[in-house]
């Protein structure tokens, strides 16, 4: 009788042990916004590196209540006022405590500071789980634009308390970090952002797309990409375009995106082209087929569209703020203008557009 075969299994320990991370966010693709886009890249990158990620987000209206994906926990959501296509997560303290008691994560990362994020922070703190957070949206700046300026100090106080309870808060630029430090925020870490330079490239320029806009080779195409909302300051774009038309310039204006101000902007500028929401190669073509990117927003924490436009070969006209203030070298790859100086912004747009036609 043969002796039983002895098998010895060697346990190979990775150089860097993987982590179990719970990522909590109010927004995720197919939502189109900077937060959804950036956090999806983070989640994908962490999973590719072998980390176990549980994504916690609001259930979308079109998703069946029995719909589940591996690695996701879907919670109740409610429409966001003025953004009916988006949903905010409702508090889920009980569900999160149960989930994390049964399968404890090494870290809870909270990308948004809404009701879902607040309940996630409470659950994690009660269970003694470390928390990290992102500062991605200037809610206190939005309050003034939506007639809620009287709430600004309350919002800042809430954000400060929320983020200071975390082990660290990630911010996209050194300038934003400096501003938040003055406001009493603690343990801030700058985590820069990048852009896919194959996806966004001048190589995607399309003559056919320009022809569909009614743009000839000599036409200067002004492009705006982003949410059509009051916080994007798009009236400045329309005023700059109107000034160019009055001067006799051969120009077109393209808006890519959607939002609560879409109808008002169409009435204000009926001969602009409203292309709607674009994704993937279609979005890359719209960038590369324009000539000048106009971006007067002053409420960004970063502004991914600035990088996408630069990678697509466009000159960028923007206020000295957020990503533009960090990445644009004035008069070399764009123009940086004094924040809130609309006259300067319009004059600069007119100067560079007219120069391009000569």
Of 8 and 335, more confident: 335
**Listed range (192-196, 254-258, 289-293) with the worst mean pLDDT:** 192-196
Separation CA 43–CA 328 (nearest Å): 28
What rounded mean pLDDT belongs to the chain?
88
8 Å CB contact between 277 and 258: yes
Sign of CA dihedral 115, 117, 120, 122: negative
Position 343 scores a pLDDT of: 97
Per-residue pLDDT for 86 more than 70? no
Separation CA 293–CA 286 (nearest Å): 11
Separation CA 335–CA 349 (nearest Å): 9
Of 347 and 9, more confident: 347
Burial of 189 (C-beta count, 10 Å sphere; 0-12/13-18/19+): exposed
pLDDT tens sequence across 145-175: 445 554 668 888 899 999 999 999 999 999 9
DSSP state at residue 28: -
DSSP calls for 211-257: HHTT--TTPEEEEEES--SGGG-THHHHHHHHHHHHTT--EEEEEE-
Separation CA 16–CA 216 (nearest Å): 55
Per-residue pLDDT for 233 more than 50? yes
Of 183 and 82, more confident: 183
Q: pTM for the full model?
A: 0.86
Position 139 scores a pLDDT of: 58
Cα 358 to chain centroid distance, Å, stands at 36
Position 270 scores a pLDDT of: 96
Mention every residue, 6+ apart, whose C-beta is less than 8 A from residue 139.
113, 155, 159
Q: What is the largest CA-CA distance in the chain?
A: 101
Share above pLDDT 70 across residues of the chain, in percent, rounded to a whole number: 87
Mention every residue, 6+ apart, whose C-beta is less than 8 A from residue 78.
87, 88, 90
8 Å CB contact between 190 and 173: yes
- Provide the H-helix boundaries in the chain: 34-48, 93-102, 115-127, 139-145, 152-164, 174-182, 207-212, 235-246, 262-268, 280-288, 304-311, 322-327, 342-356
Separation CA 281–CA 287 (nearest Å): 10
pLDDT band at residue 5 under the 50/70/90 scheme: very low
Cα–Cα distances (Å) from 316 to 224, 276, 289, in that order, read 10, 21, 14
Separation CA 106–CA 153 (nearest Å): 34
pLDDT band at residue 354 under the 50/70/90 scheme: confident
pLDDT tens sequence across 100-156: 999 999 999 999 988 999 999 999 999 999 999 999 875 545 445 445 554 668 888
């Amino acid at each position: 009788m043969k002796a039983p075969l002895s098998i010895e299994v060697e346990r190979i320990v990775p150089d860097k042990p993987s982590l179990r991370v719970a990522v909590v966010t109010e927004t995720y693709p197919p939502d189109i916004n900077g937060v959804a886009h950036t956090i999806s890249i983070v989640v994908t990158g962490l999973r590719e590196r072998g980390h176990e990620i549980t994504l916690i987000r609001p259930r979308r209206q079109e998703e069946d209540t029995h719909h589940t994906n591996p690695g996701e926990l879907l919670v109740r959501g409610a429409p966001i006022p003025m953004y009916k296509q988006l949903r905010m997560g409702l508090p889920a303290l009980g569900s999160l405590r149960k989930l994390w008691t049964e399968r404890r994560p090494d870290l809870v990362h909270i990308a948004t500071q809404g009701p879902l994020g607040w309940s996630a922070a409470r659950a994690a703190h009660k269970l003694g789980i470390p928390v990290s957070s992102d500062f991605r949206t200037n809610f206190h700046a939005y309050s003034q634009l939506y007639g809620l300026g009287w709430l600004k100090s309350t919002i800042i106080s809430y954000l400060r308390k929320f983020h200071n309870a975390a082990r660290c808060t990630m911010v996209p630029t050194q300038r934003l970090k400096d501003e938040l430090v003055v406001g009493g925020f603690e343990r801030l870490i700058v985590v820069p952002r990048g852009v896919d330079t194959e996806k966004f490239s001048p190589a995607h320029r399309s003559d056919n797309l320009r022809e569909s806009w009614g743009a000839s080779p000599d036409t200067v195409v002004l492009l705006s990409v982003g949410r059509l909302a009051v916080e994007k300051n798009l009236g400045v774009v329309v005023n700059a375009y109107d000034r160019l038309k009055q001067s006799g310039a051969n120009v077109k204006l393209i808006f890519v995106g959607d939002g609560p101000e879409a109808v008002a902007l169409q009435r204000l500028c009926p001969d602009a082209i409203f292309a709607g929401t674009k994704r993937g190669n279609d979005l890359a073509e719209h960038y590369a087929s324009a000539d000048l990117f106009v971006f007067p927003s002053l409420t960004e924490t970063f502004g991914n569209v600035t990088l996408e436009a630069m990678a697509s070969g466009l000159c960028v006209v923007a206020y000295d703020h957020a990503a533009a203030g960090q990445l644009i070298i004035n008069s070399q790859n764009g123009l940086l203008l004094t924040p809130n100086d609309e006259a300067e912004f319009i004059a600069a747009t007119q100067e560079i557009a007219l120069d391009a036609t000569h």
